[in-house]
Amino acid sequence: MFRGASWLVAVERLWVIVPAMIAGTLKSLFILDNTARKGVHRILEMADGTCLGAVYSIRTWLLVLVMIGSGMVLRQSALPRELLGGLYVAIGWALFYSSRHAWRAWQHISDLQEKQ
């Protein structure tokens, strides 16, 4: 997200951040939130000492690899920086915004521990 924003600043297209964040919010709400909630649920069900890789399903890990590879390909592409910057901001914001589910669960657990 910050890399994309820095590209937009460099090409003087800072206004692209607003539509990128709107697109990212929509991606978060309609695509990523379900995966985030499932991940939180899996973490809460795991026993202490469980392998960190078990947090996500095989399908989700494959998606992560595809996303990493896509990012590498995009970064090396000849696409204009304002397009890449907007795409990076949208994707970064979507991931950040969907992380609110994990933060809420962590806060809930912390509140429960304080009451004990």
**pLDDT exceeds cutoff 90 at 39:** no
Q: Which pLDDT score is estimated for 103?
A: 92
Q: DSSP E strands: which ranges in 14-53?
A: none
Q: Is residue 110 part of a domain?
A: no
Give the CB-side neighbour count of residue 68, counting CA atoms within 13 A: 6
Q: Is residue 54 part of a domain?
A: yes
* pTM, rounded to two decimals: 0.82
Q: Which pLDDT score is estimated for 109?
A: 83
Give Cβ neighbours of residue 55 (< 8 Å, ≥ 6 apart): 39, 42, 43, 46
pLDDT in tens, 64-88: 899 899 989 998 999 999 999 999 9
Q: Which amino acid is at 108?
A: H
d(CA 67, CA 94): 13
Q: Is residue 21 part of a domain?
A: yes
Q: Which pLDDT score is estimated for 25?
A: 98
Q: What's the average model confidence in pLDDT over 19-46?
A: 91
pLDDT in tens, 88-113: 999 999 999 999 998 998 888 888 88
Number of domains in the chain: 1
pLDDT in tens, 9-30: 999 999 999 999 999 999 999 9
Residue 71, domain extent: 2-100
Is the Cα dihedral 53, 62, 26, 85 positive or negative? Answer: positive
Q: Is residue 60 part of a domain?
A: yes
Q: Which of 49, 15, 47, 28 is nearest to 101 (CA)?
A: 28
